[in-house]
Chains A and B, each alone.
Chain A
């Protein structure tokens, strides 16, 4: 009797705390969506009252049209989709094959390669961005799409995560297939790959999240309009001085939408993927 009373009071306190904290995370998102729907002059001025959450006076079409036309949203969307798409898809193949080779195959230099990969995990991209910028401008690759995805396909961290995953798989199935005369390619494609789908899903989501938000590198190498990914397009659209808030928020809404959709669809893998490594600060 007494404990249940204590427990319910504890429950109410917990709900109060969780809701209050929830507002901190949700209100900015609500403001973004509401602001993207109303007239520009009201976005800031409405913030001093509850009208901040009133989408009127509606100006939805104009705002999103502005983000698309003036902000060139779809030009940047195309860039981001291609760059992230290549990084995720090609990256999965390259990194998982290397992880598998290290975990299960035998070849000369395997041990050295493993040690090098482990060491490379420590090097943050930021530490090589400046010399890489020089290298890329020497071969005149700046302001292209390939300069945005090529450096991020092979990732020591993902190679290591795949390596660890493949080492955790029981070897018996592969052993049996080998005795049946299957070569390493068959074994990988028809036995290992299907078993590794969860690892691929986590790595794909993590890689997508990271590449979609890339900022420092495109600041340096993606200046011209038709190669600007979304984060750069957003900052150019913001411009200097007082921006068109409602159009800017419409742009931001469109930009986060694909990620939120992926998140809702694959929430479990998403959480596992993010928990598996540290990529955001």
Chain B
């Protein structure tokens, strides 16, 4: 995603510089024909719905209603922004992000550093860490329902480690449900961050480590002054993309708690609010305004990502 920002100007300059091709007309026609299917599909299934979301967010449109649709101005936004349900959902999203981003990035970095060592069998470990990526979040959620059961494997481990002091009912006690969701998310997707960071680690020049070793740098100093600066681009990318994706949190909190977003709204998220409003209650107008607010959050984070990308 981050690579997209840089290349905007090259296409124009190259189009200007390109030599007149063999058959200009056939090339021009091919250009249009080649891009036409994508253009039509993007128009119908992306541009139009996106425009529709903006428009509908100012109406009282319902999914099924005998009453005519009318303009309601900013009413939807006012209602959503004064609804404690929405703020609770936003708060849950932020809690999820604030914990997931550093923990997931940190663990991914640790895994990447471990398997990047020239140790026998490190490829096997890399594969093990990566396998959960192939699990759909729905399948991961169901497996973890078993593990997170009050008498499940996690609590068996907990009981041993804490001598029975801490064995919560993870999914039914609102104090711990979000922790459980974070754990599942970590399991299901940390391999993705690991792969990106591993690719970055392998690109750090060996000579830098050798020079640092000659200067007598300890392992930690090498990590701090060679590894981290060497992978700062990908590290920044992983942090920001994890942050942006975390606001889409939906599958796990829809499937795992006793009811979606529960118990007591402890895992309610913006996406759950949107699906609940726009789909389950059929309030398309109000659901669209939640979608627009969600988009603004993503846009804000993306602008932040582009703006603060570390320079070379």
Which residues of A are at the interface with B, using a C-beta cutoff of 8 A?
Answer: 11, 14-15, 17-19, 21-22, 24-29, 31-32, 35, 43-45, 47-49, 52, 93-95, 97-98, 100-103, 105-108, 110-111, 113-115, 117-118, 120-124, 126-135, 137, 150-151, 153-154, 156-157, 159-160, 163-164, 167, 178-179, 181, 183-185, 188, 209, 212-213, 215-216, 219-220, 230-231, 234-235, 238, 245, 248-249, 251-252, 255-256, 259-260, 262-263, 267, 270-271, 274-275, 277-278, 280-281
Contact = CB atoms under 8 A, between A and B. Distances in A.
24 contacts: A19-B125, A48-B151, A97-B34, A98-B38, A105-B28, A123-B50, A124-B248, A124-B295, A127-B291, A129-B275, A130-B279, A132-B52, A134-B52, A156-B46, A159-B38, A167-B10, A167-B14, A178-B22, A209-B133, A213-B138, A260-B131, A274-B133, A275-B199, A280-B133
B261 interface: no
Range of interface residues on chain B? 35 or more
A30 to B, nearest CB: 10
B30 A184 contact: yes
Interface string B138-163: 11101111110101110010000000
Contacts of A260: 131, 134
Contacts of B199: 275
Contact of A213 (B26, B29, B31, B136): B136
B152 A47 contact: yes
B30 A183 contact: yes
B217 interface: no
Contacts of B38: 94-95, 97-98, 154, 159
A135 B41 contact: no
Contacts of B250: 126, 215-216
A102 B36 CA distance: 12
A127 B28 contact: no
Given A130-B279, A275-B199, A111 B11 contact: yes
Given A25-B129, A216-B250, A220-B275, 10 more contacts: A31-B146, A43-B146, A113-B39, A126-B291, A129-B274, A129-B275, A132-B52, A135-B49, A215-B136, A219-B275
B49 A122 contact: no
A44 B299 contact: no
B68 interface: no
Contacts of B89: none
A44 B152 contact: yes
Contacts, number: 327
A126 B199 CA distance: 30
Nearest to A171: B18
A14 B117 CA distance: 9
Nearest to B150: A44
A31 B153 contact: yes
Given A43-B146, A130-B279, A234 B138 contact: yes
B74 interface: no
A133 B278 CA distance: 9
B166 interface: no
B105 interface: no
Interface in B40-63: 41-42, 45-50, 52-53, 56, 61, 63
Nearest to A177: B22
A49 B156 contact: yes
Nearest to A93: B37
Given A134-B284, A154-B45, A181 B279 contact: no
B128 interface: yes
Contact of B1 (A128, A157, A267): A157
B151 A45 contact: yes
A252 B142 contact: yes
B63 A133 contact: yes
B271 interface: yes
Contacts of A129: 274-275, 278, 291
Contacts of B39: 98, 113
Interface string B268-300: 000100110011000010011011101100110
B15 A106 contact: yes
Contacts of A19: 125
A151 B40 CA distance: 11
B28 A106 contact: yes
A111 B142 contact: no
Given A21-B129, A43-B146, A278-B241, A106 B248 contact: no
Given A49-B156, A249-B142, A256-B135, A126 B11 contact: no
